[in-house]
Amino acid sequence: MKEIAKYQFAETTIIYYKNSVGGCEWILVPTAKLEAVQLPNRLKEDSIIQVKLREDDYPKGFVTGSTMRNSETVKGLVYETQKVYEFEENRVEILTRLRDAHHNCYEHILSGDKEKNVFETSVRFINESGRNQTLEMFSSFSLSNLSPFNTRNKAGNLLMTRYRSKWSFEGRKEKNPIEEYQLEPSWKPSGVGLEKFGQIGSMPVRNYFPTAAITDVKENVTWGIRLAHPGSWQGEFYRLDEDLCFSGGLADHDYGDWTKTVAPGESYRTPSAFLTVCIGSEEKCGNQFNKYFSDLVSNNQHETEESLAVMFNEFCTTWGKPSEKSVTEAIPILKQHDLDYYIIDCGWYADAIKGWEKNMGDWLPNPQQFPNGVKPVIDKIRDAGMVPGIWFEIETVGRDATAFSLVDHLLKKEGVVITTGDRRFWNMNDPWVINYLSERVIDFLKESEVGYLKIDYNDNFGIGFDGEESLGEENRKQLEGTQRFIDKIQRELPDLIIENCSSGGHRLEPSMMRRTDLSSFSDAHEAVCLPIIGANMHELIPPRQNLMWAVLRKEDPIERIYYSMTANFLGRICLSGDITELSDFQWRAVDEGIGFYRKVKDIIKSGNSRRFGKSVLSYRDPKGEQAVLRYSDDGTEALLVVHGFEMSREISIETEARYEIIDRYGATVALDQSEKGFRCCFTEDFQGAAFYLKKVGE
């Protein structure tokens, strides 16, 4: 391959190549590893752009129906030009143009900061063929030449990392050699090895997080990818010869029933993907991503969010039955403690007879629960010195709501309204719906002077629905409409703090998180796996946006309160539970925890995390122990959070330098200095403790 250009960003070098058939490929490598580059031996060429047009042939390799990578469209791509645009604040955009056999233009767009190691990429298709063109697959990113340090990869050297997810068990890491997925070349490169994964519908974290990594063990280099899309998506690990490839983006025609017809002169751009590379493991890639996205959120943050406010959400207190009475009784108690937000969760709109669970969509306060309306209650919360919040599930309607019968404005598939259990879905591109929601949601928020909005989403509308285009494209357009409405809320209420929730953690992907201040990590409210999921998130979302649960019960022994509160130091504190019935002794433990959190919040806000301990087999009945060590950006301070589960014994924590304990909170576990860091010994099952550390000599 012939080098086109080379670019340096912070600790990363990006090299573009023109391959032997005239197409374009690239590699991202740590600059410190440049001299080790030796591209794989290959029998086929790959491409920086993966696309398939309907009129072109499918690829060979026994993969029709499984993948469209390296279709005839891709084989016809020819490199034309590359331009570099420089903007303020060190921003650089590299635009690489290719053209296919039908004269269509493709622009591969890479955007980055000269001083950072995370890059945003997308691809624009421009129809210059003179006739309609229908896309059947169009990836946001494509990496080949993995790993660029080996002409022939040794067995076990390349590791694939993915993060599995299901309700209340989010973020379970899966890390294995690529050979376990049959991603090694056969004796003759005739059959493609493929590992394709993703999710279909409107919950982007329902099966997997839209993120993955590939690690070269020998060179200790890892490439990380994070896709920013709220709907159906796919990732494809692909191997024919010595060249491992990875691409992904929108779920294609075969996987997600997606096609897009583009008229002559028109264009279409993929969702964004974010790429990074580092010397180290997928954990370091996660830190690089989280630092990047944390900085983006900080640019538009509210003052209370910059201080990592502590909140109370009453969901696990009333279980969907909030009222003026419940709020009024809670406020005098909460005023005595150091809280910043009070969130009224679901059920404020409940029907007096039918209840709350199937009544979302009309958004009228229940007069039995709120006889004077919601506004006086909101005022009481604000008068108590807390930011008042409220819950909405904007995109859905419940079976008991009047809105459930407004079928002309709801999503349909094959002419039938999509109903999932007791929910239906608004058409978020219907002007009538947007006007309706503007009145029922935005006007309500303004008139009630709400300061915090929890946006929830509790079902999946599936592959797509009826419309002018394919099911998959209607899926994409629907969620684009949702995000436009969130943008509208922000424009009209710029001081409003917004929480991203979807049955807990089903929307923890960049395009939603960039639009919101913080995100619900899970619905594992009181489950013992709470700290495990919280630790999982340290590779997947910025801790400053990771809203945890600390559900307090009147029967909780002090060890259980410590267990819950220390888990919240893995992200953001959100209290709930029997707060009007806790003893003074229990409240002292909670207050001490909040005080400790205030001391270490800047480390939570921005830093780098390491996790210790063996992976836990069962989240429902966890055994063993874990530790998360989070360093401040400059390394002078650190927060150590340890948890023991059933049959917990001890765990060793290796530190980068020598640290001393400045403060501690939680269970009376022993933390002893060791030669390389600390050793924590647990005295009983299900203990949690946290330690504020400072570097010796600082």
Q: What is the pLDDT of residues 234-250, one digit of tens each?
A: 999 999 999 999 999 99
Q: Kindly write down the DSSP assignment for every residue of 584-596, as one continuous string.
A: HHHHHHHHHHHHH
Q: Give residue-wise pLDDT tens across range 575-616.
A: 999 999 999 999 999 999 999 999 999 999 999 999 999 999
How would you class 123 by CB atoms within 10 Å of its CB: exposed for 0-12, middle for 13-18, buried for 19 or more? buried
Q: What is the structure's pLDDT at 675?
A: 81
Top-level CATH class of 2-296? mainly beta
Cα(55)–Cα(258) distance, rounded to whole angstroms? 15
Listing DSSP states for 180-238 in one string gives GGT-S--SSTTS-EEEEEEE-SS-TTSSEEEEEEEEETTTTEEEEEEE--SS-EEEEEE
Q: Report the predicted TM-score, pTM, of the whole model to 2 decimal places.
A: 0.96
Burial 636-651 (b: 16+ CB within 10 A, else e): ebbbbbbbbbeebeeb
Q: Tell me what pLDDT residue 297 has.
A: 81
**pLDDT at site 298:** 67
Strand partners, 609: 630
Q: How far apart are CA 267 and CA 155, in angstroms?
A: 43
**Band of pLDDT at residue 190, cut at 50, 70 and 90:** confident
Identity of the amino acid at 314: E
Backbone angles phi, psi at 153, to 5 degrees: -75, 140
Q: Check residue 263 and give its pLDDT.
A: 98
Residue 299 pLDDT exceeds 80: no
User: pLDDT at residue 6 above 80?
Assistant: yes
Structure confidence at residue 233 (pLDDT): 98
- Which residues have a Cβ under 8 Å from the Cβ of 263 and sit 6 or more positions away? 127, 132
Residue range 467-518, pLDDT digits in tens:
999 999 999 999 999 999 999 999 999 999 999 999 999 999 999 999 999 9
Residue in 653, 596, 598, 663 with CA at minimum distance from that of residue 630: 653
Residue 690 near residue 672 (C-beta atoms within 8 A): no
- Mean pLDDT of the 341-370 span: 94
Q: Which residue in this structure is represented by tokens 């509208």?
A: 488
Residue 302: the pLDDT is: 86
Domain with CATH 2.70.98.60 in the chain: 2-296
Angstrom distances, CA of residue 309 to CA of 236, 533, 599, 639, 660: 40, 21, 13, 18, 27
Residue 662 CA to residue 640 CA, distance in Å, equals: 11
C-alpha 630/C-alpha 600 separation (Å) is 10
Amino acid at residue number 263: A
- 3-state SS assignment for residue 544: helix
Whether 301 shows a pLDDT value over 80: the answer reads no
Please check whether residue 225 is in contact with residue 212, taking contact to mean a CB–CB distance below 8 angstroms. yes
The predicted structure's pLDDT at residue 262? 98
Arithmetic mean of pLDDT, 553-571: 98
User: pLDDT band at 189, cuts 50/70/90?
Assistant: confident
For residue 89, pLDDT beyond 90: no
Burial category of 618 from C-beta neighbours within 10 Å (exposed 0-12, middle 13-18, buried 19 and up): exposed
Q: CB burial class (10 A; 0-12, 13-18, 19+) of residue 6?
A: exposed
Residue 697 — pLDDT band, cuts 50, 70, 90?
confident
Identify the pLDDT of residue 355: 87
pLDDT at 42 exceeding the cut of 90:
no
Distance CA 504, CA 521 (A): 6
Query: Residues 593, 570: contact at Cβ < 8 Å?
Result: no
- Write the CA distances from 438 to 445, 491, 635, integer angstroms: 10, 12, 46
**309-520: which CATH topology?**
TIM Barrel (3.20.20)
Q: What is residue 43's predicted lDDT score, i.e. its pLDDT?
A: 80
368-373: long-range contacts (C-beta < 8 A, 24 or more apart)? 369/321, 369/322, 369/323, 369/324, 370/323, 370/324, 371/324, 372/324
Residue 476 has phi, psi (to 5 degrees) of -60, -45
Q: Are 307 and 601 in contact (CB under 8 A)?
A: yes
What's the pLDDT at 307? Answer: 94
pLDDT tens per residue, range 162-183: 999 999 999 999 999 999 999 9
Q: What is the mean pLDDT of residues 38-66?
A: 93
**What is the architecture, at CATH level 2, of domain 611-695?**
Sandwich (2.60)
Q: Quick one: tokens of 684?
A: 């009983």
281-298 burial, b at 16+ Cβ within 10 Å, e below that, comes to: bbbbbbbbbbbbbbeebe
Average pLDDT of span 339-351: 96
Can you point out the beta strands (E) in 476-532?
497-500, 518-520
Q: Which residue, among 347, 331, 343, has the nearest Cα to 452 in the 3D structure? A: 343
Q: Whats the size of the chain, residue-wise?
A: 698
Distances (CA, A) of 14 to 37, 132, 274, 277, 291: 12, 35, 14, 10, 20
| The pLDDT of residue 300 | 64
Considering the chain, tell me which residue range(s) the CATH 2.60.40 domain(s) occupy: 611-695
Query: Model confidence over 106-154: pLDDT tens digits?
Result: 999 999 999 999 999 999 999 999 999 999 999 999 999 999 999 988 9
Say what the pLDDT of residue 674 is: 82
- The Cα-based distances of 349 to 311, 329, 342, 426 in angstroms read 22, 20, 17, 18
Residues of the chain with CATH 3.20.20.70: 309-520
Backbone angles phi, psi at 325, to 5 degrees: -65, -45
Alpha helices in 7-129 (DSSP H): 72-75
Residue 33 DSSP one-character state: G
Among the listed residues 119, 132, 151, 143, the one whose alpha carbon sits nearest the alpha carbon of residue 39: 151
Q: What is the mean pLDDT of residues 414-426?
A: 97
Residues 6+ apart with CB under 8 A from 107: 95, 96, 97, 123, 124, 126
Determine the Cα angle at 575 with ends 374 and 580, to 5°.
70
Cα distance between residue 335 and residue 329, in whole Å: 11
